């Protein structure tokens, strides 16, 4: 049994060492510049090329950018919804709805990402293309983040929306856990001082649970960073950095999914593994941080006996 | 303000429920008509022709999940038993639990890369074995944590009674506690099984996919989610139809597993013991 338990450490060490071993070539070639390189310029068009498997010049910059933009955007969409859902479930939901709603969020968390991707390709992307993107261009075009130069409906926004749907259940179920850990006496004390329900939620619950909620959000971020299939299917898959959120892009996970099986050279493969290694290290750190924060809040949670 | 927030919370809840319902409705609308005997029994036809099924992908998924279960379930249950029984409260157990939770959050594509560099590179060819190993590694933390939770639900009285009768600790754990929790542990394993059944990313460059029927673990093999990916991103109407059908089959498997876990944990199948 101890051996089985220790194997979990073994897996982490194994993954880390294997990925470090296989990404050695890219590391020797590019070093840390792999993640910050200024691009080579195309000989003919003068366009910057970050990722050129044919000529063997690789920089992870557009993928890091795509991952960050799509994940952060998805957090912007999902965090208010997730916290709202958690408030509804813990503070105001009638008892008969609580079970089914909790079940539905659990189910959302269990749907494989390929099915989200399938749904996004055939339902979400056409919806964005026909109805949402034109509105974004029309009303928010002046910010410079929404340019009408991509008629496909794919891109960062599509990736962010599907990511938001996918990470919502994770954030909301953890937020709910943290909010239930706030002792009932806190709520009663605030209410006794004459607070309305919203004031009670804000001062009695959210303020006490905020560290845990931040933890839940970070955990959602960790999921969004590494999400592969759904993003690969809707982000557009071009190795470019675009200011416009409606443009095609690429994320760290999507480039691995798309190119790894058909990598043209050892350097190409090694570069992709280095992106995977970065993804691994970042998600480990993000997840560990999130778990610590959630644990800090729920650790001293008294049993609900008050 | 009070009413506004109540309204917003209800709005948020509806916004969360709508996509789920939309996904299910679309799956049923587009998939149900294509889930027939052909889907389960026929191999894919050449692109552009209509008809055919996903027999090779279903068999392939079966082989991959078999290998994964052989690796993931025993090790996972062992780790779960350690966490709940032998190591409860120790620093090592806490560290293992923490690592398992963190490992649960690692992107599945990284598992694929690890399996690639561990098995595909030395073997010099893609194989079902490597895909199964990648999925198996992913199962371990999930199985460990659910088994632990299920074991913790066994009332302490039972342990004390077993020890009071003079059983040695390992014997009490294995034949009393684990047996009491076994329905829970089995459903936990099913949940992990259903989760990895839908995993695509780790299979792309380990199992690779195979247009023909194969159950040889040493050869590239097709898998249901891989096939859905290829079909969904392709241009053919008929393949889209099959992709929806495949997705429907996957989701039914998953809904079954999730409901079963919920049933076991809430209705207390464990109560037979107390």
Complex-level ipTM:
0.90
Residues sharing a CB contact under 8 Å with residue A51, sequence separation 6 or more, in sequence order: A57, A58, A59, A62, A63, A239, A255
- With 0-12 / 13-18 / 19 or more C-beta atoms within 10 angstroms meaning exposed / middle / buried, residue B57 is buried
Quick check: B235 contacting A, CB < 8 Å? no
Helix (H), strand (E), coil (C) string for B86-114: HCCCCHHHHHHHHHHHHHHCCCHHHHHHH
How many angstroms away from the CA of B37 is the closest CA of chain A?
A: 22
Q: Kindly report the CATH number assigned to the domain that includes residue B157.
A: 1.10.3720.10
How many other CB atoms are there within 10 angstroms of residue B33's CB atom?
12
* Chain A neighbors of B245, CB-CB under 8 A: none
pLDDT at A305: 34
> What is the C-alpha to C-alpha distance for residues A160 and A163, in angstroms, rounded to an integer?
5
pLDDT, greater one: A144 or B117: B117
How many angstroms away from the CA of B126 is the closest CA of chain A?
A: 10
**What percentage of chain A's residues is helix, strand, coil (to nearest 5)?**
75, 5, 25
Each residue's pLDDT tens digit, A132-177: 999 998 898 888 888 888 888 899 999 999 999 999 988 998 898 8
Q: Is the residue at B19 inside a domain?
A: no
> What is the C-alpha to C-alpha distance for residues B59 and B40, in angstroms, rounded to an integer?
9
Question: Is the per-residue pLDDT at B175 higher than 60?
Answer: yes
Q: Is the residue at B233 inside a domain?
A: yes
Q: How many CB pairs under 8 A join A and B?
A: 251
Question: Is the per-residue pLDDT at A43 higher than 80?
Answer: no
How many angstroms away from the CA of B212 is the closest CA of chain A?
A: 19
Quick check: B197 contacting A, CB < 8 Å? yes
How many angstroms away from the CA of A112 is the closest CA of chain B?
A: 5
Q: Is the residue at B133 inside a domain?
A: yes
pLDDT at A70: 96
Average pLDDT for B25-51: 86
Lowest-confidence region among A88-102, A257-271, B214-228: A88-102
Q: Is the residue at B15 inside a domain?
A: no
Q: What share of chain A in percent tops pLDDT 90?
A: 52
* Chain B neighbors of A228, CB-CB under 8 A: 107-109, 200-201
How many other CB atoms are there within 10 angstroms of residue B233's CB atom?
15
Mapped onto helix, strand or coil, the DSSP state of residue A26 is helix
pLDDT at B19: 85
Residue numbers of B between 32 and 71 with CB closer than 8 Å to A: none
Average pLDDT for B173-200: 89
Q: What share of chain B in percent tops pLDDT 90?
A: 54
Q: Is the residue at B231 inside a domain?
A: yes
> What is the C-alpha to C-alpha distance for residues A260 and A151, in angstroms, rounded to an integer?
28
* Chain A neighbors of B1, CB-CB under 8 A: 196, 198
pLDDT band at A306 (very low <50, low <70, confident <90, very high): very low
pLDDT at A35: 87
Domain region containing B254: 35-42+51-273
With CA atoms as reference, the chain B residue closest to A256 would be B109
> What is the C-alpha to C-alpha distance for residues A265 and A54, in angstroms, rounded to an integer?
9
| Structural contact between residues A174 and A221, judged by C-beta atoms closer than 8 angstroms | no
Considering all CA atoms of chain A, what is the largest pairwise distance in Å, rounded to the nearest integer?
74
Question: Is the per-residue pLDDT at A58 higher than 50?
Answer: yes
Question: Is the per-residue pLDDT at B273 higher than 70?
Answer: no
Q: Measure CB to CB from residue B205 to each of A199, A261, A290 and give the nearest one.
A: A261
* Chain B neighbors of A160, CB-CB under 8 A: none
Mean pLDDT across chain B:
89
pLDDT band at A301 (very low <50, low <70, confident <90, very high): low
Q: Would the CB atoms of A9 and B250 count as touching at under 8 Å?
A: no
Q: Is the residue at B17 inside a domain?
A: no
Question: Is the per-residue pLDDT at A253 higher than 90?
Answer: yes
pLDDT at A271: 94
How many angstroms away from the CA of A143 is the closest CA of chain B?
A: 26
Residue numbers of B between 253 and 272 with CB closer than 8 Å to A: 254-255, 257-259, 262
> What is the C-alpha to C-alpha distance for residues A279 and A285, in angstroms, rounded to an integer?
10
Q: Measure CB to CB from residue B20 to each of A107, A113, A260 and give the nearest one.
A: A107
Q: Would the CB atoms of A118 and B243 count as touching at under 8 Å?
A: yes
Q: Is the residue at B24 inside a domain?
A: no
Question: Is the per-residue pLDDT at A40 higher than 80?
Answer: no
Q: Which two tokens stand for residue A165?
A: 């749907």
Residue numbers of A between 121 and 160 with CB closer than 8 Å to B: 121-123
Q: Is the residue at B157 inside a domain?
A: yes
Structural domain count, chain B: 1
Mean pLDDT across chain A:
89
Which domains are assigned to chain A?
18-40+59-299 (1.10.3720.10)
Mapped onto helix, strand or coil, the DSSP state of residue B28 is helix
Helix (H), strand (E), coil (C) string for A173-223: HHHHHHHHCCCHHHHHHHHHCCCCHHHHHHHHHHHHHHHHHHHHHHHHHHH
Mapped onto helix, strand or coil, the DSSP state of residue A55 is coil
| Structural contact between residues A258 and B201, judged by C-beta atoms closer than 8 angstroms | no
Quick check: A211 contacting B, CB < 8 Å? no
């Amino acid at each position: 049994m101890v051996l089985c338990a220790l194997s979990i450490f073994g897996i982490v060490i194994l993954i880390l060492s294997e990925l470090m071993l296989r990404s050695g070539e890219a590391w020797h070639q590019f070093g840390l510049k792999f993640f910050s390189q200024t691009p080579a310029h195309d000989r003919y068009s003068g366009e910057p090329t970050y990722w050129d498997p044919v000529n063997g010049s690789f920089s992870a910059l557009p993928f890091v950018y795509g991952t960050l933009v799509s994940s952060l955007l998805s957090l912007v969409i999902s965090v208010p919804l997730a916290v709202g859902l958690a408030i509804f479930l813990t503070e105001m939901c009638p008892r008969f709805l609580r079970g089914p709603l909790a079940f539905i969020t659990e189910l959302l968390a269990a749907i494989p990402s390929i099915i989200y991707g399938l749904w996004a390709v055939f339902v979400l992307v056409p919806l964005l293309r026909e109805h949402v993107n034109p509105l974004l261009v029309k009303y928010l075009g002046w910010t410079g983040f929404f340019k009408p130069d991509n008629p496909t409906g794919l891109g960062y926004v599509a990736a962010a929306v599907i990511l938001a749907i996918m990470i919502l259940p994770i954030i909301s179920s953890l937020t709910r856990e943290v909010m239930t850990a706030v002792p009932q006496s806190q709520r009663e004390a605030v209410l006794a001082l004459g607070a309305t329900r919203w004031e009670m939620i804000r001062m009695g619950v959210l303020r006490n649970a905020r560290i845990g909620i931040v933890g839940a959000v970070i955990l959602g971020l960790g999921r969004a960073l590494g999400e592969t299939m759904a993003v690969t299917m809707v982000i557009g898959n071009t190795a470019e950095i675009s200011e416009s959120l409606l443009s095609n892009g690429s994320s760290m996970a999507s480039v691995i999914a798309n190119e790894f099986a058909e990598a043209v050279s050892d350097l190409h493969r090694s570069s992709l593994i280095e992106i995977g290694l970065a993804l691994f290290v970042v998600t480990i750190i993000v997840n560990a941080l999130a778990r610590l924060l959630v644990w800090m809040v729920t650790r001293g949670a008294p049993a609900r006996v008050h | 303000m009070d009413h506004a927030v109540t309204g917003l919370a209800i709005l948020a809840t509806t916004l969360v429920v709508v996509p789920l319902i939309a996904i299910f409705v679309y799956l049923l609308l587009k998939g149900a008509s294509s889930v027939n005997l052909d889907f389960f029994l026929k191999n894919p036809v050449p692109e552009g022709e209509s008809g055919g099924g996903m027999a090779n992908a279903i068999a392939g998924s079966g082989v991959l999940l078999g290998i994964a279960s052989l690796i993931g379930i025993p090790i996972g249950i062992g780790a779960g038993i350690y966490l709940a029984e032998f190591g409860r409260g120790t620093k090592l157990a806490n560290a293992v639990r923490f690592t398992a939770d963190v490992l649960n959050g690692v992107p599945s594509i990284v598992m694929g890369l690890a399996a690639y560099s561990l098995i595909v590179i030395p073997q010099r060819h893609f194989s079902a074995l490597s895909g199964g190993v990648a999925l198996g590694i992913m199962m371990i933390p999930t199985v460990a944590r659910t088994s632990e939770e299920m074991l913790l639900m066994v009332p302490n009285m039972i342990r004390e009674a077993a020890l009071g009768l003079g059983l040695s600790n390992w014997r009490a754990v294995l034949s009393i506690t684990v047996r009491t929790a076994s329905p829970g542990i089995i459903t936990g394993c099913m949940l992990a099984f259903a989760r990895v059944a839908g995993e695509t990313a780790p299979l792309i460059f380990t199992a690779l996919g195979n247009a023909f029927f194969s159950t040889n673990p040493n050869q590239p093999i097709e898998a249901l989610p891989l096939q859905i990916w290829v079909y969904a991103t392709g241009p053919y109407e008929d393949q889209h139809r099959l992709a929806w059908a495949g997705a429907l089959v996957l989701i039914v498997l998953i809904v079954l597993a999730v409901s079963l876990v919920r049933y076991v944990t809430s209705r207390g199948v464990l109560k037979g013991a107390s």
